[in-house]
Structures are given as C-alpha cells and as structure tokens.
Structure 1
Amino acid sequence: MKRIFIIVLDSVGVGEMPDSALYGDEGSNTLKSVSKDALFAMPNMKRLGLFNIDGIGVDEKWKEEVPQGTFLKLQEASKGKDTTTGHWEIAGLISRQPMPVYPEGFPEEVIREFERQTGRGTLCNKPYSGTDVIRDYGREHMETGRLIVYTSADSVFQIAAHEKVVPVEELYHDCEIARKILTGKHSVGRVIARPFEGEYPDFRRTSRRHDFSLHPTGKTMLDAVKEAGMDVLAVGKIIDIFAGDGITEYVRTACNREGIEKTLEYMKKDFHGICFTNLVDFDMVYGHRNDVAGYAGALREFDAYLPQILEQLREEDILMITADHGCDPGTPSTDHSREYVPLVITGENIKKNNNLGIRKTFADIAATVLDYLDVRCSIEGTSMLEDILLH
C-alpha cells in the first residue's frame, strides 16, 4: 500500500530566486539567516542532505559527507510568494497571474459594502503587522466595536477582533461575507479571521485563527488522488488553503508540535494515498516577527521529531519535506520573500546521496506523487520518479 507524506515547513526558503528583485527580496535566504543563530541545530536533516543542496549558502560545516536521502531545490513558476500560491503549485497548479494585493489598503467600494453587510464599521485598512495592528487599534476597536481590517504584502484581507467584543462565530461569519464580496478583480487569496484577547496594551492573538481561501482555479493532485478512490489526509491549514477541495479527511492544528503529532498518528494508520501537512509556526510566529532565535528553535524542534517520523515509514512509503516560499527573519522586511524552496526525499526505496540540483517548478512534486501512485492526470510539472527510486 503506497503512502506519500508531504511536510511543508512553511516559509523555510533557501535563497533568493533570479527574479527576487521584482519582489524587493534581493539577498533573502531564510535558512541561511536562521542557521547563524546559536540555537540552530538540525542534525537529522543534515544526515538526509538538506545542507548539501546547491547554493544553499549555509556554513560548510553542515554538509553531510554521504547524505542518506535525495535532495534538491525548487524554483517557483507561479507569480507570487504567498502560502496559497506556493501550496497550489506544490499540488500541480501554477498561478500565472498574481493574486491582487493592496499596498494602499482596500478600495472604498469594498470597505463600504463590507460595512453594510456586517453592520459594523472598520478601522485601519492598510498593510500592517498582525501584532502591531492590535496594539495600535485594539483599544479603539473595544470602545467602538469596529472591525480591524488590514492586509500585508500578500493577497490577504485580514479581520482582527477581540473575542469579548465580537464572538468568534460572528467573526467567522464576517469573514464569509468578505469572501463573497472579494471576487473578480478583488479575488484575494485568503480572508483571515484574527481573533485576539487581553487588555490594552497587552493584547495577544488567540489560536482560533481561521482562513477562508479561494477555491483552486484548476485541478490539483489532491483532486486526482481523491477521484482515483484513494485517501487525501490534510494536517494543519491544508484544508483551508485548498478550501476543502480534494481532501478526504483533515485535522486542524494550533501549533507545529500538534501538527507533527497528528502526522505521526496518521502514519500509524492504514491508508492509500497522501498525507499533506503544513507546519505554520515558522512563518506565522517567527518569520513575520523577525524572530531569528524563535525560528531557529522551531527548526530544532522539528528536527528532534524527525527520527520518530522516519521510524514510522513503511516499506513503500515516501517522505517529502519542502517549503512554500521564504520569510527571512534576518532582513528588515516582515513579509514573505521570493525564494527557492528545499526538497528532501527519503524512504526505504529512495536513492541516497542523490543531488538533483534545481527544478523549474514546485509542481514537479505533484507530478512525482501522481506517477508513484499510478494516477493518470493532466497536470503541471515533470515527474522525478525515475530519478529518485532505487528500483
């Protein structure tokens, strides 16, 4: 019974892409920045060959003499550098038109219609850090009941509200309203509920964040595997990124640790198909806050779990560890960065010490998955199966 586990280390990029200047990301290299921290340690990923990837830029001491896996880096073919675009491309869907962004805030007609349908006014309406926005607007929000609407460099419409002022279910409903309004030229990738709690000035975001994503604009590997009668298990925010499409079972998670533990639980079960996991803390908790030490600690935590994950692999299992974009905490920017992503592949039947260099699209993951599962589907990407299997 063939099983493929894809674990996305959200935002763990490995160096600027050739077009990074178009995105203002020259010099970005998330893994390189984090590797300089004293807390950084990934001995298990080192053994698999992560630091042997071409041009990764990390200190030579991390290279493995004989890596125990296949390793390479992937270039993003889509226009963008956000979570939705990256995951869709991993699943075989290349976005050739960038999703809309709003560096000056959302247009008047969008905001006024949102206010009319929700019955609440709004505050902010500009790009903002998620923690700064509740610090700067939280008190006024509590006094007036107005929703804090903000965006970032990504294609997102974010709504922050204190749980005592706007109950979480109402906030989710407001997000559903926004999702229906944001169509056509305003089809942002995600509408995000950002509940928070506490008293001024000590506001803090809660774990009840919820994403309301666009449905994928075409068929993905998830759809193809599901239609073939196989399992597509989603861990973390995968269910939200794909708006539920192509998924047979899912579990949402509150943090990286829970995501890893839920993945381990799925590894103990019999299924045929894919388990697709997103570990979001690297990006959400550390990357966007420029917390290099915290990011390093989170990578160390994941690496410490890796032996347990490897122990659960069965004879025909394949494990793929990758990322969806960068978010370099060592740069002044708090936004995502246009970077290559790593891909480390391992399993009993996977070639060792196998450097595949650079591939032109994340979609090669989808093509390889479908090839291995013997699912026929016209999808973006080129299979690497012959290059990674021992026999």
Structure 2
Amino acid sequence: MQKSGIKRVFLIVLDSFGCGAAPDATDFGDAASCSTLRSVTESGLFPAANLTRLGIYNIDGVRTGTPDAAPIGAHARLRELSRGKDTTIGHWEMAGIVRNEPMPTYPDGFPPEVVTELEEAFGRKILCNKPYSGTAVIHDYGQEHEETGALIVYTSADSVLQIAAHEEHVPVEELYDYCRKARTIMQGAHGVGRIIARPFVGTYPNYTRTARRHDFSLDPTGDTILDALSRAQYDVIGVGKISDIFGGRGLTRSLGVNESNADGMKKTTALLDEDFTGLAFVNLVDGDMIYGHRRDVPGYARAMQEFDDWLADFLPSMRADDVLMITADHGCDPGAAGTDHTREYVPLLIYGEKIAPVNLGTYPTFAMIGATIADIFGAELTTKGESFLPRILN
C-alpha cells in the first residue's frame, strides 16, 4: 500500500456521458447548448439517486438536475485539451497523452491510393468507401457483399476505418486478419484512431450486427498511466474495450470486450473480491454505441439508470482502501442534431473512505485523472495533467 493508503482504483468510463458543451464545441460542428447529461436528465427516466449522492449535479456548470445538499464524493468538470472528440483521444488523454493534432478523418471517403493498397492487401474489392451509419451500410451493401465477396469499408465523423462482412462468407477470424492488415497500412498521415471489425449475420433485408466487433487501435503515441503502473509492478486490469483502445499496452490482464454494460458491471463487481493492487480500468459503451449515435434519449437514460442502480450495491461493497472514479471520454448528446459525438466537458466523480467530498471546480485537461492515479501509487508519469490528490485525500 502506498503513502496515500489507497490500494485499488476503479476507474469507470461511461462512454460518451458528457456534461455540457465545451467552449470550443462550435469549432467541432456542435451546438453551444449540447449536453448529454442534460438530455438524459430531462428525459424523466433518470432519477440517478446514487450519482446524485456522489455529486454529479453539484459539478460546476452542469445546469441540470438538483444538486445534493451534502454530496459524498469529490466532483469536478474536465475539459478536453486534445483536438478531438472520440473514444481513442479521450481515453488517451485521461491516461496522460495530449494530442495537439487531430487524428485524420475522411468525410469524402478514403483516397484512391489508400483503397488500392487495401484491396491489394485484402485480395478483395472494396464497397462503399464513404461515411455511413453502421446499420444502414449493411442494409445497403450487404447483398452486394454476399454476391461478390467484396468487403464493406466505411468511415464516420470519427477517425475510424470500419470493415463489415457477413460471418457466413467471411469468418470472424478472417475479418480480424483483414483489420490487422488495414492497421498496418493506416499509419502516419493516415493513422486513424481505430480499425473496427463489424461482423454481421442474417439475410437481406434483415441483417444484424453481432457482438463480435473488435477494435484495432493506433498504438498510444506517448507514455500512459497504464505503462507507468505496469512498470512499477502494479496490476492494471482492463474491462471492456480498454485493451483495444490502448493496443493492449500497459495492461497486466484484460477481461475482454463486454457483451453489454451489464456484463461489464458484473465483471467489475467480481473484481471487488480479488486481492489486486493497482488499477481496474473499465469502459461501459452502451450509452454511446447503442443509444447516443442513434439519438435515442429514452434508451440512453435507461442505460445510465441501470448503472446508477448497480452503484447501490457496488458503493457499500468497496473496501476502506478502495477509490472509485467515474468519468467519460467525450459527449454523444442523444438530444442533439445529427449522429456524431459532441465536444463536451466530462464529469469526474471520486469516492472512497479516504476521499474528501470537495468541489474541485473545472480543470483544463482529462490528463488530471492519469496524473492523480500516478500520484496515488507513487508511479512516474510525465503528462500535462496535475494531480489533485492533495485536495481530495482525507
């Protein structure tokens, strides 16, 4: 145990659960009024008893919900310093990496020279090659894919290259191999944040995507809290797509991609009974992947309420030397126009017996999280974030 007296940190990322437009939101094509938290709160389906107790509505500037008279957690608002609003950049920044240059995006599809290189590597032709909804693209191109064997390659407003293929025509492991080949090609100027395998099943027009999605991320471009802790011989356990986001780097163990938020929460609960020392880094993606992009406010609200209900059992089960951190990696306001992520502040809630329930105000970078975790364990991490441990430690 370190001088902080803290043995385990559970860092849970509620993927896309932003708490209000960042000052530069309009630079990213987002309304100055966007707020994932507000849309979910005002749905009437999110009583959020436990997050309220932790202080989510006491965070500076959220302008929604009812603040708790005496919150039990430290609470802060973090602004993203990196130039982006996607999963990879958001997670990398909270882990310590700040990127001044955005990752490449392709609003007009991938250029001809990239398509040619991909087709040569795959030994198959490419269909689509434009930004597209993941459910619409398999409806519109799935039949041609089945008839020709060509792979469906598409992108979005994020820095991604996605490859969709029918599992009966392209076995999942073969699809993963195509993604690895694409990852090798998409480096340097074309270094997209993620290559994503999107297997699907069914018959036209009733295709459905399966749970065997897999992300192949760009290797982190700097030191992270995962690297720092593993170097110092601490446990670093990934739950959900954490291994994908960091290319497996710095993890001592991964519990794999979650089937759902419920699956991820079950895995996290099981870790309470394990005698590890270090970090459990958890991503719960349903709010973003299933509801945010589809602008499904009720669905998003129900997913967040399921998490809030889960906290009712998790919080009292924590040990005296545990700390829980809850945050997000960007926004995806289900009440906003379009289908893209939204450039937002993110909430940070910190709870544990050793944590003082203070209002930390607003900080200029997500990297405060990595810096604080490094300080908790006495690990060396060079980052633009600063530790707020002295302000929160009882």
**TM-score bracket relative to the smaller structure:** over 0.9
Instruction: Tell me which of 267, 285, 299 is aligned to 1:294.
Output: 299
Q: Is the 8 A contact 1:125 1:151 kept in 2?
A: yes
Query: What is the identity, as a one-letter code, of the residue corresponding to 1:105?
Result: G
Q: Is the 8 A contact 2:110 2:130 kept in 1?
A: yes
Query: Which residue of structure 2 aligns with residue 45 of structure 1?
Result: 51
Render the CA deviation track for 1:230-265: whole Å, top value 9, x for unaligned: 100000000000001100001111111111110111
Query: What is the identity, as a one-letter code, of the residue corresponding to 1:306?
Result: L
**Alignment partner of 1:203: what SS?**
strand
Render the CA deviation track for 1:199-252: whole Å, top value 9, x for unaligned: 111111100000000110011011010000110000000000000110000111
Query: Which residue of structure 1 aligns with residue 20 of structure 2?
Result: 15
Query: Which residue of structure 2 aligns with residue 101 of structure 1?
Result: 105
**Alignment partner of 2:206: what SS?**
coil
| Superposed counterparts of 1:116-127, under 5 Å | 116-127=120-131
Give me the whole-angstrom Cα distance separating, in 2, the residues matched to 1:254 and 1:330: 26
Query: Which residue of structure 1 aligns with residue 159 of structure 2?
Result: 155
| Superposed counterparts of 1:204-219, under 5 Å | 204-219=208-223
Query: Which residue of structure 2 aligns with residue 284 of structure 1?
Result: 289
**Alignment partner of 1:79: what SS?**
coil
| TM superposition shift of 1:21 | 0.9
| TM superposition shift of 1:279 | 0.2
Query: What is the identity, as a one-letter code, of the residue corresponding to 1:152?
Result: S
Query: Which residue of structure 1 aligns with residue 148 of structure 2?
Result: 144
Residues 112-121 or 74-83, more deviating:
112-121
Give me the whole-angstrom Cα distance separating, in 1, the residues matched to 2:363 and 2:370: 13
| TM superposition shift of 1:378 | 2.2
**Alignment partner of 2:153: what SS?**
strand
Query: Which residue of structure 2 aligns with residue 111 of structure 1?
Result: 115
**Alignment partner of 1:96: what SS?**
coil
Query: Which residue of structure 2 aligns with residue 248 of structure 1?
Result: 252
**Alignment partner of 1:51: what SS?**
helix
Render the CA deviation track for 1:41-96: whole Å, top value 9, x for unaligned: 2111001110111111213xx32111111111100010100000000001011111
Q: Does 1:307 align with 2:308?
A: no
**Alignment partner of 1:7: what SS?**
strand
Q: Is the 8 A contact 2:223 2:381 kept in 1?
A: no
Give me the whole-angstrom Cα distance separating, in 1, the residues matched to 2:78 and 2:176: 35
| TM superposition shift of 1:146 | 1.1
Query: What is the identity, as a one-letter code, of the residue corresponding to 1:321?
Result: I
**Alignment partner of 2:13: what SS?**
strand
Query: Which residue of structure 2 aligns with residue 89 of structure 1?
Result: 93
Query: What is the identity, as a one-letter code, of the residue corresponding to 1:341?
Result: V
Give me the whole-angstrom Cα distance separating, in 2, the residues matched to 1:380 and 1:373: 18
Q: Is the 8 A contact 2:224 2:381 kept in 1?
A: no
Give me the whole-angstrom Cα distance separating, in 2, the residues matched to 1:129 and 1:332: 15
Give me the whole-angstrom Cα distance separating, in 2, the residues matched to 1:101 and 1:377: 30
Q: Is the 8 A contact 1:41 1:296 kept in 2?
A: no
Give me the whole-angstrom Cα distance separating, in 2, the residues matched to 1:83 and 1:376: 25
Instruction: Tell me which of 31, 40, 58 is aligned to 2:37.
Output: 31
Q: Does 1:364 align with 2:368?
A: yes
Query: Which residue of structure 1 aligns with residue 207 of structure 2?
Result: 203
CA RMSD of aligned residues (A): 0.9
**Alignment partner of 1:319: what SS?**
strand
Query: Which residue of structure 2 aligns with residue 188 of structure 1?
Result: 192
Give me the whole-angstrom Cα distance separating, in 2, the residues matched to 1:385 and 1:134: 48
| TM superposition shift of 1:343 | 0.2
Query: Which residue of structure 2 aligns with residue 258 of structure 1?
Result: 263
**Alignment partner of 2:306: what SS?**
helix
Q: Does 1:128 align with 2:132?
A: yes
Unpaired segments of 5 or more residues in structure 2?
Answer: 2-6
Query: What is the identity, as a one-letter code, of the residue corresponding to 1:194?
Result: R
Give me the whole-angstrom Cα distance separating, in 1, the residues matched to 2:296 and 2:169: 30
| TM superposition shift of 1:317 | 1.0
Give me the whole-angstrom Cα distance separating, in 2, the residues matched to 1:34 and 1:255: 19
Query: What is the identity, as a one-letter code, of the residue corresponding to 1:183?
Result: Q
Q: Does 1:70 align with 2:52?
A: no
Q: Is the 8 A contact 2:159 2:194 kept in 1?
A: yes
Give me the whole-angstrom Cα distance separating, in 2, the residues matched to 1:44 and 1:188: 37
Q: TM-score, normalised by structure 1?
A: 0.97
Give me the whole-angstrom Cα distance separating, in 1, the residues matched to 2:10 and 2:373: 10
Q: TM-score, normalised by structure 2?
A: 0.97
Query: Which residue of structure 2 aligns with residue 318 of structure 1?
Result: 323
Q: Is the 8 A contact 2:77 2:362 kept in 1?
A: yes
Q: Is the 8 A contact 2:195 2:215 kept in 1?
A: yes
Q: Does 1:274 align with 2:292?
A: no
Give me the whole-angstrom Cα distance separating, in 2, the residues matched to 1:132 and 1:387: 48
Render the CA deviation track for 1:148-175: whole Å, top value 9, x for unaligned: 1110111000001111111111100000
Give me the whole-angstrom Cα distance separating, in 1, the residues matched to 2:127 and 2:241: 27
Give me the whole-angstrom Cα distance separating, in 1, the residues matched to 2:383 and 2:18: 24
Unpaired segments of 5 or more residues in structure 1?
Answer: none
Q: Is the 8 A contact 2:86 2:330 kept in 1?
A: yes
Aligned length: 387
Residues 207-216 or 307-316, more deviating:
307-316
